[in-house]
Amino acid sequence: MKDTAPDLSLSQSGKEPLVIASQAIREAGAILKSHFWQEKKIQSKGRRNLVTDIDLLTEQHILSLLNDEYPNHSTLGEESGKTEGTSDYCWVIDPLDGTTNYVYGIPIFAVSLGLTYKDEVVLGMVYDPLRDELFWAQKGREAFLNDSPISVAGERNLQTTIIGLDLGYDDTKTRDMLLRVNGFWSGEKGLRLIGSAALGLAYVACGRLDIYLHPRIYPWDIAAGILLIREAGGEVTDWQGKPATIWSDKIFACGDISEHQTVRAVLRDCCLRS
């Protein structure tokens, strides 16, 4: 039997956290969708790491709602950083995961929202507004895509797996990852560069991908996805095989728990060295 989270308190308006989170993430998605085809103000946070005025607008909208409903909760946003509250709960927010895709008109991006209790994720949501796909999970209560339960892919031959990955912004890690994946790749395996870690993890949770790898990741990218995969029957670890937390900076997500160690052993020499 799965462990359950501590009872989640009602919001200021008397609503469950699931309801508030769903409202926040859908409203954020609506903002992203409405501005997707419009001109955007773009800034750089580093090489290949972009931020737009829409990232900022969307995060502020989420924060405003969460602060009104849960004024004692902490928040951790990609753009706004950490705000300390008096509660053990913290909302972890990525207002636009896949900003580069968004900027260039590639329709693969999402909003990611997680609620942690003492750093353990107890509620997670990833929303793709263009496809109206809301992936969500509560600790101990399974995972869903909109109203339908989801699960990771069943047993699949390693030679025919679909592997998703992203490369991050560190040139050395990017070059190393490409070299190692090139050594691992064969004609039977499918490789997909997603451009959104949140969606990559959600796709493992619903069985679209078998594996997802990332060499440099942040809490807001993975908070929701970690819970989605575990509630859907899979596992997420760091590259040493320890269960991933929101503070893990490298992740390996695998749908088939029974094959997790086997897959890691195969990948170790070509993909998983730090």
The enclosing domain of 244 has a CATH number of 3.40.190.80
Cα distance between residue 92 and residue 188, in whole Å: 37
Q: Is residue 4 one of the residues assigned to a domain?
A: no
Residues 135 and 28 in one domain: yes
* Of the residues 104, 131, 149, the one at which a domain ends: 149
Residue 5 lies in a domain: no
The domain boundary, picked from 149, 170, 197, lies at: 149
Q: Does residue 133 lie within any of the structural domains? A: yes
pLDDT at 122 over 50: yes
My answer on whether 107 and 70 are in the same domain is yes
Looking at per-residue pLDDT, the higher value among 87 and 14 belongs to: 87
Average pLDDT across the chain, whole number: 85
Structural domain boundaries enclosing 32: 17-149
Statement: residue 41 has pLDDT above 90: no
Query: Are residues 33 and 75 located together in one domain of the fold?
Result: yes
Residue 261: its pLDDT value, please?
A: 67
- Tell me, yes or no, whether 215 and 96 share the same domain: no
Domain end call among 114, 149, 184:
149
Three state DSSP letters for the chain: CCCCCCCCCCCCCCCCHHHHHHHHHHHHHHHHHHHCCCCCCEEEEECCEEEEHHHHHHHHHHHHHHHHHCCCCEEEECCCEEECCCCCEEEEEEEEECHHHHHCCCCCCEEEEEEEECCEEEEEEEEECCCCEEEEEECCCCEEECCEECCCCCCCCHHHCEEEECCCCCHHHHHHHHHHHHHHCCCCCEEEECCCHHHHHHHHHCCCCCEEEECCCCHHHHHHHHHHHHHCCCEEECCCCCECCCCCCCEEEECCHHHHHHHHHHHHHHHCCC
Tell me which of 44-53, 88-97, 128-137, 153-162 is least confident: 44-53
pTM of the model: 0.88
| Same structural domain, 109 and 199 | no
